[in-house]
Every structure is written in C-alpha cells, then in structure tokens.
Amino acid sequence: MATEEERSLASLLVSVMHAREQEGARVSRILHDEVGQVLSAIGLQLDLLRMDLNDHVADSSKRIVEIQKVLELSVAQVRDLSYELNPSIVERTGLQFALDRLVGRYGKGFDGRIRLLFDSAVRLPLEVATAFYKIAEQGIDNAVAHSGATRVEILARPVKQGVSLEIRDNGRGFPGDQEVAGTTGLGFHLMRYHSAKAGLRFSVASSPEKGTIVKAIYRVSRLADSSNTG
C-alpha cells in the first residue's frame, strides 16, 4: 500500500495539476476565441484581395496563395494547441475523439506504435469519461517515457462488469510486488486517485520484461443510475 507521505504528495500534485488545467483552459479560450478568429479574419481578407488582383497582377495573386497556405497551417496549429490545453476536451468532443487526439499527440514523439481500440457501444457519465481520459493520459505517458515499450494499446470496451479501460504496453515491466508496495511512482498514484474519485475499480498487472496492463472498470450497477456520454 502507498505510504501516507506518498498519498500526500500525490494529492499535492493533483492540486498543482488542477491549477495548471485551469490556466490551460484560460489560454485555450484566448487561442480559440481571439487568436484563432483574428487569423481566420486575415485569411478571409487575403482571399478577397487575391480575387481582386487575380486578373490584374498574377504574380501578386500567387504570392497571396502561398501566404494563405502558411496562414491555414498556423490556424490548424492554434486549433490543435487550444484542444490540448483545454481540460474539458472530453466534455466538448466525447471520450473517443479525446483519446484519439491523445494518441496522436503522444505518437508524434514516439518511435513505437500507439493504437486506440474504442468500442462504439461505450457510454459513460462525463465524470467517468473524464477519469478514463486522465488515466489513459498518465498510462500512455508512463509507457512512452519510462517503460521502454515499442507498442502501446488503449482499449475501451463494454465488459460483463460494466465498461473497461485498459492501457497495455510491451515494456520492461516490474515485479508484481513492487506495485502492491506502492513504489511504482507518482504516475500510478495519480491513476489510483482519479479512479477512486470516479468510483472505478483500478488494477495493475506487470512482470519483468513482459509489459504492463493498467485497467480501470466502471461497474455496470452504476450505469443504470447515470446519464451517459461516449
């Protein structure tokens, strides 16, 4: 079991992460509502200018087209950053889309393969979907940064007990008693925290050189009492 010091440290880290999420949401709104709209407006004006010049100054029209391409790329980058900074991505887009973007984000700097398997039948209350997302984010981060894995899979699917989320990797793993002893680091404490807060059943299975499976289950008995979201 985790020590009192480890639990306190995990709780402190959660508070810091919450403050960071609030600031991220503020910056996300600025990027989306102000910067993104200004860039889009500039693009529209360039399009009008290009049409005005098209029949008179062909070279200038071509240059405007190139500028528009750069601007479109900038708008896409601002939009992506806005999504990543906003902690309410699950509420706005749904769990499947949020996880898909998460996989894409980590996949950019990962030499191996990250794959999402999401059953379209999955329906979850927002609180649980958000917890699933945060557990997946921490689980992928652990696998990519610390396990030496070349393959990571995220599975979200209905099971007999309710709905299951699994993060599987083929990394170096660790002895089973290490997880029980609570010495696997703050990442696992954070996942346990989010699981406990959402009423999930959380478990970790691992062995040296055979990878790790992180699992969170939302029990079916609670599904009937809650409104669901994908």
Share of the chain above pLDDT 90, in %: 31
Q: What number of CA atoms fall less than 13 Å from residue 112's CA on the CB side?
A: 16
Domain annotation covers residue 228: no
Query: Which among 167, 170, 141 has a CA at the least distance from the CA of 156?
Result: 167
Q: What is the pLDDT of residue 91?
A: 85
pLDDT band at 34 (very low <50, low <70, confident <90, very high): low
Do 128 and 215 lie in a common domain? yes
pLDDT band at 210 (very low <50, low <70, confident <90, very high): confident
Residue 54 token pair: 């098209």
Range of the domain at 191: 94-223
Do 137 and 70 lie in a common domain? no
CATH of the domain at 175: 3.30.565.10
Q: Please state, rounded to an integer, the average pLDDT across all residues of the chain.
A: 79
Domain annotation covers residue 72: yes
pLDDT band at 33 (very low <50, low <70, confident <90, very high): low
Domain boundary among 28, 58, 85: 85
Do 8 and 78 lie in a common domain? yes
Domain annotation covers residue 230: no
The domain total for the chain is 2
Do 70 and 138 lie in a common domain? no
Q: What is the pLDDT of residue 176?
A: 59
Residues 53-88: pLDDT tens digits? 666 666 666 777 777 777 777 777 777 666 666 657
Do 74 and 120 lie in a common domain? no
Query: Which among 89, 188, 186, 81 has a CA at the least distance from the CA of 130?
Result: 89
Q: What is the pLDDT of residue 212?
A: 92
Residue 104 makes CB contacts below 8 A (sequence gap 6+) with none
Domain annotation covers residue 207: yes
Residues 167-177: pLDDT tens digits? 999 998 877 55
Do 81 and 104 lie in a common domain? no
Please tell me whether residue 166 adopts helix, strand or coil conformation: strand
Report the pLDDT averaged over residues 113-130: 95
Residue 171 CB neighbour total at 10 angstroms? 22
